[in-house]
């Protein structure tokens, strides 16, 4: 089973995604806190980190850099809500690695996760 670390600051969205991802056969850990996500990733082997791009404590890009500094194999998919901050951060990302959260499509989430893990 492939393990996913979900870093989402909205409990309702995280709960929905966790339910769908688990139904698709993934083991999913969730935290809304990017600092805690760094601790989780240091202690466990994740195949994928599914994270918000814009967060209060740090950006998804900063989280990516921190985790990839000690785990170069983990994949990342970023979720974004349209905003000026998100658009600035999105410039360096591949379109295949980005999920729009509004409107959130669980089919898109599952497809992007599957594609990232191929």
Residue ranges per domain, the chain?
Answer: 3-116
- Residue 75: its pLDDT value, please? 94
Q: Are 78 and 98 in contact (CB under 8 A)?
A: yes
Helix 106-116 / helix 11-23 crossing angle, nearest 10 deg: 60
Torsion region of 104: left, alpha or beta (phi above 0 gives left; psi -120 to 50 gives alpha): beta
Q: What is the pTM of this model?
A: 0.88
**Positions of the chain with pLDDT lower than 50, given as ranges:** none
Name the β-bridge partners of 69.
none
Superfamily of domain 3-116: Response regulator (3.40.50.2300)
- Residue 34: its pLDDT value, please? 96
What are phi and psi for residue 76, nearest 5 degrees? Answer: -130, 140
Q: How many CB atoms lie within 10 A of CB 41?
A: 21
Mean pLDDT score of the chain, rounded to an integer? 88
Name the strand (E) or helix (H) holding 67. helix 60-68
- CA 76 to CA 5: how far, in whole Å? 10
- Residue 117: its pLDDT value, please? 93
């Amino acid at each position: 089973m492939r393990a996913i670390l979900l870093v989402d600051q909205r409990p309702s969205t995280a709960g929905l995604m966790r339910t769908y991802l688990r139904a698709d056969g993934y083991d999913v850990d969730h935290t809304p806190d990017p600092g805690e996500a760094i601790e989780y990733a240091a202690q466990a082997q994740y195949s994928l980190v599914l994270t918000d791009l814009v967060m209060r404590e740090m950006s998804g890009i900063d989280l990516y850099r921190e985790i990839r500094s000690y785990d170069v194999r983990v994949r990342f998919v970023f979720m974004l809500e349209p905003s000026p901050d998100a658009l600035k951060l999105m410039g360096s990302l591949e379109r295949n690695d980005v999920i729009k959260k509004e409107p959130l499509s669980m089919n898109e989430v599952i497809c992007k996760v599957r594609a990232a893990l191929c």
